[in-house]
Structure 1
Amino acid sequence: MTKAVVFDIGMVLVEWQPEAFYDRLIGPDRRRAFWAETGIAAMNERIDLGAPFAETVRAHADLHPAWRAEVMAWHDHWLDMCTPAIPHSVRLLSALRAKGVPVFALSNFGIGTFELACRHYPFLTNFDRLFVSGYLGLIKPDPRFYAALEAGTGYSGADLLFADDRPENIEAAAARGWKTHLFTTPAGWADRLVAEGFLTEGEAA
């Protein structure tokens, strides 16, 4: 019997669209060049693994002076990339909590960026326990990150139902015997929570 629910955060509870932000800022062609020439995605992974937010972005800007303004925008306009909230998903989180279902977060997020997000989206603290990559120095789909949640909660295998938008993260959870849901829409996630018996159709609306 499934006993607890695990949420990813980015693209499940809150939109995370850095490419769209930079497309608006500098246009798609320059954005693609920016990604290729600066390794900005790898910089963000270092932040997600616990590197300090502001210092890491500034150091990366120093390495790429031709793109300094664009690199610094990653810090200065971070909330413009992490927006908006996904209201139906937020309601599902609240409904699960109201019913006393154990609910956890397992998310790739930096320390500084997560603290910024929590100030802007207070519902991100509405979990029984948070497992955030920056604090643990582990990142999905590393199996050790999933094992940390199991060790910290006492749940494992089919006890857990996990929603994430990335297939590789779902596959890593499934390999541990977790039940999984590849998130594409909050309506689909609502249907799965009803099917698993966590919520009624009315509660999941």
Structure 2
Amino acid sequence: MGRIRCLLFDVGGVLERVDDDEWPVRFLERCAVRVGLTPEELDRRIASSTLPDSSIRSGVEEEYWAGFGAAIGADAATLAEIRRDFWDAYCGTANEVLLAEARSLVGRVGLAILSNSGDGAREEEERRYGFSRTFDPILYSHETGLNKPDPRAFEIALQALGADAAEVLFLDDREDDIEAARALGIRAHLHRDDESTLRVLREAVGTRDTLGGAL
């Protein structure tokens, strides 16, 4: 792999240590306990409600949570607890290994984020992790209106970066997103562990490992 001009990062499962398949299930189980419903009844109520799609719309966070609370019968205090729990689960913990590597490359290579998201994610992740100090642009689906693996999400990213597809390395933990990026000619690496991702990243940008050997 030759050197690249821009690194494009996913957030959940890459820059954040979180299992995006597992946490929503556990979160809803905790919600059910808080409001005295079975998980099945809670699922039924949410499915029958008319919540805005906060993954592709901005400015709807308060409307979403008001509708969510009404659907499951949560009072104001309980809903506030649920919202705090949601964002803690959503954001997980920082992947300090990859974040430190990204920070070390500021000024050497373009650093950007392309992430599926929920309305409110920008504020929560900025408060916790300060992404804007390292990454620009930060492209969230609730602001662009497009979820990966929609090819248009990647096209918007390329336009924002001012880069050709072959000049970008995309890092994501989901195979369908990786395949969508590659279909557009973007170089892409499926993140499974920090060590292998660091090797691919360093090879792409022409840095050296911590032992001084060229990767």
**Alignment TM-score, normalising by the size of structure 1:** 0.80
Which secondary structure state, in structure 1, belongs to the residue aligned with residue 114 of structure 2?
A: strand
Quickly say closer, same or farther: Cα 1:186–1:124, change in 2 above 3 A.
farther
The one-letter amino acid of 2:102's match is L
After the TM superposition, which residues 69-108 of structure 1 pair with which residues of structure 2 at under 5 Å, given as runs?
74-81=82-89, 82-97=91-106, 100-108=108-116
Quickly say closer, same or farther: Cα 1:92–1:168, change in 2 above 3 A.
same
Q: What residue is the counterpart of 1:54 in the other structure?
A: 62
Contact kept, 8 Å, 2:181 with 2:188, in 1: the verdict is yes
Is residue 8 from structure 1 mapped to residue 10 from structure 2 by the alignment? yes
2:159 corresponds, among 146, 151, 164, to: 151
| Superposition deviation, residue 26 in structure 1 | 5.7
Q: What is the Cα-based RMSD across aligned positions, in Å? A: 3.1
> For 1:12-69, what per-residue CA distance to the aligned partner results, in whole angstroms no more than 9, with x for missing partners?
1113433344556668xx55774576349x969x21212411221221332x336x47
Q: How many residues align?
A: 198
Which secondary structure state, in structure 2, belongs to the residue aligned with residue 177 of structure 1?
A: coil
Contact kept, 8 Å, 1:79 with 1:117, in 2: the verdict is no
After the TM superposition, which residues 166-205 of structure 1 pair with which residues of structure 2 at under 5 Å, given as runs?
166-202=174-210
| Superposition deviation, residue 124 in structure 1 | 4.8
Quickly say closer, same or farther: Cα 1:168–1:199, change in 2 above 3 A.
same
Identity of aligned residues (%): 25
Is residue 112 from structure 1 mapped to residue 117 from structure 2 by the alignment? no
Quickly say closer, same or farther: Cα 1:20–1:95, change in 2 above 3 A.
farther
**Alignment TM-score, normalising by the size of structure 2:** 0.77
Quickly say closer, same or farther: Cα 1:33–1:168, change in 2 above 3 A.
farther
Quickly say closer, same or farther: Cα 1:23–1:91, change in 2 above 3 A.
farther
Contact kept, 8 Å, 2:111 with 2:135, in 1: the verdict is yes
Q: Greater CA radius of gyration, 1 or 2?
A: 2
